[in-house]
Structure 1
């Protein structure tokens, strides 16, 4: 149990800064708002000819293969904390979207990088450069096991490496950009105890077998020669977790290389709280992973009780998993995308009624 190190908060605001998808049209539940509505409500440019607000597409968010979310947590009576979870894939998309949504970058206290894959770490240096050398410096929360390189060996045999991923930023580059590096393999609370960053995620399911075709480059200490080694389980991956009083846990899954069921089971084991919302990549895209979709949906919608109030499958979740989740969860499966904002407010009176989930 780690409930003594994670505070129940009164207000959570999530702004999605990088995702593969942009979704403006679908009806959203209460507390969710599209980017377009935010822009039109926040002093948009006015068309001189017609006198109505102008949809300034040149300066709206762009989609990219990656993930980044701005998390604002607040306990009543205390100052809010701004934390960035992942930074997208490149030096362009996060910076553009931060500017589009008027994010107060100087107030971001910490960046959590969920795991060492470039689609989650690629925008870090550009974000830090944009933030500048404000005081105190931004903390960058990292797993210490940074790979030299990671690559892709696609199906059907997963035995031929066709490409390597871009390099993750080094600790030295991060510090040169003005940040303070903190590394940990263990679970720990940040943002004054309002966000939990997990340690190693236990792999307990029999069908969540990691990233098929994942490989890592290793070099020999004796002759400086290197080679690719299979690395399917991506053990440096971490999730983030927030407890909203009277609602339950909000889980940011990163890419779910560990498997979202393993992530949920670990969060429940840590905190014995119901799951209110699951956010992020579920890594169920591609025909080679389609067999994981039915048992994943079955666990989340039928075995887990109470089932999550909302599930937001994003980034690497894949179209088929979104369809399957929508069929089981209905409107509780939210078509989230870049630019979307979510507001979750606590219900302290209801908190005593929350019981540990069972499955």
Structure 2
């Protein structure tokens, strides 16, 4: 069990959407509002972040006046990560750890650049890299003709180490940042309709063939218990199913209310079929904030808006800052 923190700030560095103009709840700052707060008085294209298919978040927690920082995923590629970090003036120097949520390219494509940028600002110190041992396997998606569309691998342990990472792998739940942050273990699958990633396969251990990998057991969620508010859960893609994720989070922190969920809900593509069940089941968790984005999809976002309204649904976009 992790300890409470006094405050939590999540800044979205990479996401599928950019949205400077929509109004936001009081605890959410848009990209444009952030520019104004930092003193930008002339708006132009050179100020703007860019959207990309992926997710990356900078997480800052504070307890007893001590502030700690970590990176949650890196997005799909280097251009979007570097551009957005630079234009947001995001402070990477204090980052002590990186967690990769699962082994997909759209969350790890800029990881080596992220390590380089962090270490160029922290005096060259090594950075903890938190991973599940199975996320380094080569993966692919089954095509209608029976063939496979291979995915780009995430950086290897050797490459990460060469770039200054202290790689630590685990299948079990554990803490980061001296217990301010909780990393889940493998997520139990208790909801019948949440099937994972239909059609995904991975290379066999001998590298000669493919084997089913729809459950993506390497996926993990991140939890922070904010004093007086409850548990904030980051679930980057929710391949395990967001209802499974929240059941696991509630079981992991008995008696702690669930405050918010942030990340992709992966209710697009084949998973559009389970949008009604998912939205209905989300109501049982009493969430104050649903910060859905990335792979959630517009159909699911519409259903969430209709079910929860804009007092609860606060979609992610690049540059947004959530404060709890």
Give the structure-2-normalised TM-score: 0.95
Q: 1:239 aligns with which of 206, 213, 221?
A: 221
Over residues 178-219 of structure 1, what are the superposed CA-to-partner deviations in whole Å (9 max), with x where a residue is unaligned?
121111111001112111000000001110011001111225
User: Equivalent residues in 2 for 1:161-172 (5 A)?
Assistant: 161-172=147-158
The SS at the match of 2:209 is: strand
Q: How many residues align?
A: 320
Could you tell me whether the CA contact under 8 Å between 1:26 and 1:335 is conserved in 2?
Answer: no
The SS at the match of 1:311 is: strand
Could you tell me whether the CA contact under 8 Å between 1:86 and 1:113 is conserved in 2?
Answer: yes
The answer to whether structure 1 residue 76 and structure 2 residue 90 are counterparts is: no
User: Equivalent residues in 2 for 1:190-201 (5 A)?
Assistant: 190-201=176-187
Over residues 222-266 of structure 1, what are the superposed CA-to-partner deviations in whole Å (9 max), with x where a residue is unaligned?
xxx612222100000000001111111100011111000000000
The answer to whether structure 1 residue 226 and structure 2 residue 208 are counterparts is: yes
The answer to whether structure 1 residue 87 and structure 2 residue 70 are counterparts is: no
Distance 2:229 2:247 in 1: 18
Distance 1:12 1:146 in 2: 27
Distance 2:190 2:102 in 1: 20
The alpha carbon displacement at 1:103 in A equals 1.6
Could you tell me whether the CA contact under 8 Å between 2:21 and 2:32 is conserved in 1?
Answer: no
Q: Tell me the residue number matched to 2:46.
A: 58
Q: 1:313 aligns with which of 264, 288, 292?
A: 292
Over residues 264-288 of structure 1, what are the superposed CA-to-partner deviations in whole Å (9 max), with x where a residue is unaligned?
00010010211111100111002x2
The SS at the match of 1:291 is: helix
Q: Tell me the residue number matched to 1:145.
A: 134
The alpha carbon displacement at 1:336 in A equals 1.9
Distance 2:169 2:281 in 1: 33
Q: Tell me the residue number matched to 2:115.
A: 128
The answer to whether structure 1 residue 343 and structure 2 residue 323 are counterparts is: yes
Distance 2:161 2:127 in 1: 10
Q: Tell me the residue number matched to 2:314.
A: 334
Distance 2:147 2:321 in 1: 38
Over residues 145-164 of structure 1, what are the superposed CA-to-partner deviations in whole Å (9 max), with x where a residue is unaligned?
2444111224xx5x623421
The answer to whether structure 1 residue 13 and structure 2 residue 9 are counterparts is: yes
Q: Tell me the residue number matched to 2:159.
A: 173
Over residues 81-138 of structure 1, what are the superposed CA-to-partner deviations in whole Å (9 max), with x where a residue is unaligned?
1111011011221111111111221211100000111111111101111223635421
Unaligned runs of 5+ in 2: none
Q: Radius of gyration: which is bigger?
A: 1
Could you tell me whether the CA contact under 8 Å between 1:147 and 1:217 is conserved in 2?
Answer: no
Distance 2:235 2:155 in 1: 21
Unaligned runs of 5+ in 1: 45-52, 345-359
Q: Tell me the residue number matched to 1:289.
A: 271
The alpha carbon displacement at 1:173 in A equals 0.7
Distance 2:246 2:168 in 1: 25
The alpha carbon displacement at 1:68 in A equals 0.6
Could you tell me whether the CA contact under 8 Å between 2:112 and 2:155 is conserved in 1?
Answer: yes
Could you tell me whether the CA contact under 8 Å between 2:136 and 2:155 is conserved in 1?
Answer: no
Q: Please, which moves more after superposition, 175-184 or 130-139?
A: 130-139
